[in-house]
Amino acid sequence: MRTTRSKRRVAASALVLVLLVLLVAAVLGASATAPGTTLAAPVFTSLPADPTSVRTNTAGWVHARTDVRFRCSVDDGSWFDCTTPLTWTLDPAKPQRHRLSVRAVGPSGTESRPATYAFSYREPRRADAVRFSVAGDLAGLVPGVWREVPVRVTNPSVVPIRVTGVTLAIGPDSTPPGCLTATNLEVRQPVFTAGRSLALPPRATVTLPAAGVSTAVIRLRDLPGVNQDVCKSRSFTLLWSGTAEQ
């Protein structure tokens, strides 16, 4: 009889142990699973560069479900309703990295974890800090005829640059004096096609016109009833300027 009671106690102890193991497993399983239905976070498809020199930025994202809406937060600020793509203007005075966060919100109000992107802002390089030269001259102006000026743009540095604008000004009077610029000459400035710039490799020269960029043109006005002989054999000072960035 003693032996039988001992076996029963061992069997009872084993049963308690099994119940404890099952209970612990249940607790661990409950703690590893978030309550409710899990909603996936949005997935970014387009983002600002890191770093960026643009204050107005755009980001886009997608979601696997079509019945969700979105809420956004910029630089850890308050959340607001948003749609994709989102365009916003950042504060360049903010010393820390900038942050965009986007949550998906389901029909029942369940929110996903945020998809977050952090990036920094860098002031654009000052145009006058990029060294390059512009030169161009022209001979043989004829009254009433537009003439193209072959403009040479040179990058003397060892890094590539992008020229974003070229401007021509003409001195107020001729040499020798007498043929006033404002009265006798017309100028059309070089035109850069929208969104285009002139790429210059290191230590290279490009002559305008070039792809996406026209050159300057000058015309000696044909003034009926005005004696323009004073403009014969005269020369003018061409003053070139421009903007560029690295």
H or E segment to which residue 6 belongs = helix 2-32
Q: What percent of the chain has pLDDT over 70?
A: 83
Quote the pLDDT of residue 158: 85
Residue 3 has pLDDT above 50, yes or no: no
Q: Measure Cα distances from 95 to 75, 98, 117, 133 in Å.
A: 11, 9, 16, 36
Quote the pLDDT of residue 246: 80
Amino acid at 142: V
Rounded Cα distance, 105 and 165, in Å: 46
Which candidate, 226, 222, 219, places its Cα nearest to that of 170? 219
pLDDT band of residue 126 (cuts 50, 70, 90) is low
Domains and CATH numbers, the chain: 43-119 (2.60.40.10), 127-245 (2.60.40)
CB 115 within 8 A of CB 70: no
> What is the arithmetic mean of pLDDT over 162-177?
90
For strand 161-170 and strand 238-245, is the pairing parallel, antiparallel, or unpaired?
A: antiparallel
pLDDT in tens, 71-119: 999 999 999 999 999 999 998 888 789 999 999 999 999 999 999 999 9
Q: Measure Cα distances from 196 to 65, 187, 225 in Å.
A: 39, 22, 43
